[in-house]
Amino acid sequence: MEVAIFSSTRYERRYLNEANRSGEHKLHYFDVLLEQDTAGLAAGYGAVCIFVNDKADAPVLTALHEGGTRLLALRCTGYNNVDLEAAKRLGIKVVRVVTYSPNSVAEHAVALLLAVNRKVHRAYNRTRDSNFSLEGLTGFDLFGKTVAVVGTGKIGCVFAKIMLGFGCRVIGFDPHPSAEFEALGLSYANPGEIGEQADIISLHCPLTPTTHHIINSETLKRAKPGAILVNTSRGGLIDTEAAIEALKTGQLGGLGIDVYEQESSLFFRDRSSEIITDDVIQRLVSFPNVIVTGHQAYLTHEALTTICETTLESVSAFEKNLPLQNEVVG
């Protein structure tokens, strides 16, 4: 099948080509985002493959449909960037990668937490300049601290297990309780209890209208002073302006994010020779207690292998008119 792959990178192409080593599909790579101005590139392709920051709203889907696209394959788990009602109306099937390596994202969340807490990024920069002073590098023991896991799906459960290994007390918040989470002997709390008790809050829920800005000025006011917030899920879960204000007052003790509300114009590209006009991200990275990574939590060999194989398996199933196990239904 002819597949147009948007937002492709060199490292992804290697894994996609390996997953397609039989040559079953003809893969055509575009390094641009899918949006209304670029949708015309997909004309003639029966399947279009997109990533987290590509736009698949009604106008884009209409353009794809007019060009002959009948399958939209997301090489990610989240689908907040797709208008599912429009896709259904147009007869475009949507598939995603339901699960790849929950360990990859959970482990990166832990890495962000440790780096923010123990000031690893600041120590690294100092020692490169032969500055071995320890002033301002004091952190706290994770042992005995309360960790709130917001979203207790596969990734949230792996993160919870790791935190238990550190000797933390772990509580969860999720409107859909997980038997796996409860099997760990863990309990759920309401949002108010999380704010009062949590020394660390880690977000592992999807971005939906309900969870948009789940972390906002009000929830941050109720948070335990000095708490560390980690987000490896979707940028829209956090009201970034509110987080900045909480950082300025010290109400938020640290922030580690792998995702950002306005990341689509920044992430996955080298912008080091450009003037970044996004004042919000510039303010974020100016804080000594903030670490921003460029949506790399999923970036492991195991995860990339599974993502690419699962995506092309869905394309094959569609072409052969077989059941789509990973279909997203609006």
Residue with tokens 């804080």: 287
Q: Scan for tokens 């962000």, then name that residue.
A: 112
Is the alpha carbon torsion for 169, 218, 214, 261 positive or negative? negative
The DSSP line for 215-252 is B-HHHHHHSPTTEEEEE-S-GGGB-HHHHHHHHHHTSE
Q: Can you read off the two tokens belonging to residue 235?
A: 């940028």
The answer to whether the beta carbons of residues 27 and 5 sit under 8 Å apart is: yes
State the burial class of residue 310 (Cβ atoms within 10 Å of its Cβ: 0-12, 13-18, 19+). buried
Query: Of 295, 301, 309, 327, which residue is the catalytic one?
Result: 295
At residue 256, what are phi and psi to the nearest 5 degrees?
Answer: -125, 115
* Positive or negative: CA dihedral 25, 31, 33, 38: negative
The residue annotated as part of the active site, out of 12, 107, 263, 313, is 263
- The active-site residue, picked from 107, 234, 261, 313, is 234
CA distance 41 to 228: 43
**DSSP-assigned letters across all residues of 69-132:** --EEEESSS--TTB-HHHHHHHT-EEE----S-HHHHHHHHHHHHHHHHTTHHHHHHHHHTT--
263 is catalytic: yes
- Give dist(CA 7, CA 302) in Å, integer: 20
10 annotated active-site: no
Measured in residues, the chain has a length of: 330
Please indicate whether residue 222 is annotated as part of the active site.
no
Kindly calculate the radius of gyration of the chain based on its CA atoms and give it in whole angstroms: 21
| Residues annotated catalytic, as ranges | 234, 263, 295
